[in-house]
Amino acid sequence: MIKRLFITQMQSKNASNETLSLEEMHALSCCCEGERDLMVSVFDNGKKKFLYHNNSFAAILGYSKQEMAEGGWEFWFNRIKPEELPGIRSNLENIMQTASFSPQLPVGHIFSYHIQDSQCRWCLLQHQVSLLIKPYAILVISYVYDLSNKERIEKTLSGFRFSLQRRTVEISNREKEVLLLIGEGYSSKEIADRLYISIHTAITHRKHLLEKFAVKNTAQLIKEASKSDFI
């Protein structure tokens, strides 16, 4: 009877020392599990360890809760695109360091960067960091959104936009002649002499070509015209 009471007291004591109680962990799991594009983690800034990752990390990136918890932030940093890592790492470490001394840190820090999944594919993530202040702990909450599909769609739409611009550029036969001579490096005066037109007319054609191709100078005009097979 005494032994059973002692075990119960010890269990109660251990539970009270946990940053998140069993009830809190259960409530967190009920809220966060099943999210398709949202990854959620909870980091104890005092104990320097992760307390929770939802299942979306495994579903989206292919990394298990165990390897992420054991690897800590280094596991995460080691998978960020090298050219993006210094800034992201500095920002996140500054947040956690500042939170230790000033829990009133503004919430809602948002970063975007690429991380490599378990299949060695680059995924675009949007990472929002907030703080949860408990009586004896400061928790760093990460909300990580997968924007990879959005990035792919935007790249596709960008291609459509440039393709549409090329198809809608319409120029006259005379403007084509002027454009070809511009591409060969002739000045407006030389173009006027070769086409037997006034220099004013040659300059006007050049101005109209710049407007139709939506560019600011001759170099950009030649570049865009070559994309559209005019040169």
- Residue 215: CB atoms within 10 Å: 16
Cβ distance 200 to 188 under 8 Å?
Answer: no
Measured CA to CA, the distance from residue 191 to residue 178 in angstroms comes to 7
Instruction: State the amino acid at position 100 in one-letter form.
Output: S
Residue 68 is predicted with a pLDDT of 94
- CATH code for the domain in which residue 211 is found: 1.10.10.10
Tens of pLDDT, residue by residue over 148-169, are 998 889 888 877 755 545 556 7
User: Which residues have CB under 8 Å from 224's CB, separation 6+?
Assistant: 213, 214, 215
Whether residue 35 lies inside any domain: the answer is yes
On whether both 175 and 108 belong to a single domain, the answer is no
Q: How far is CA 44 from CA 25, 128, 156, 225, in A?
A: 13, 16, 41, 58
The pLDDT confidence band at residue 11, using thresholds 50, 70 and 90, is: very low
In this structure, of 47-61, 130-144, 217-231, the range with the lowest mean pLDDT score is: 217-231
The mean of the pLDDT values for the chain is: 84
Answer whether 212's CB lies under 8 Å from 182's CB. no
Average pLDDT over residues 26-32: 88
Phi, psi of 188 (to 5 degrees): -60, -40
* Number of domains within the chain: 2
For residue 157, is it within any domain? no
Per residue in 114-127, pLDDT (tens digit) is 999 999 999 999 99
Q: Is residue 223 part of a domain?
A: yes
179 shares a domain with 136: no
Q: How confident is the model at residue 100 (pLDDT cuts 50, 70, 90)?
A: low
| Domain containing residue 68: CATH number | 3.30.450.20
Q: Work out the pLDDT band at 4, boundaries 50, 70, 90.
A: very low
Q: Do 119 and 200 share a domain, yes or no?
A: no
140 and 206 housed in the same domain: no
Residue 163 lies in a domain: no
| Total-model pTM | 0.61
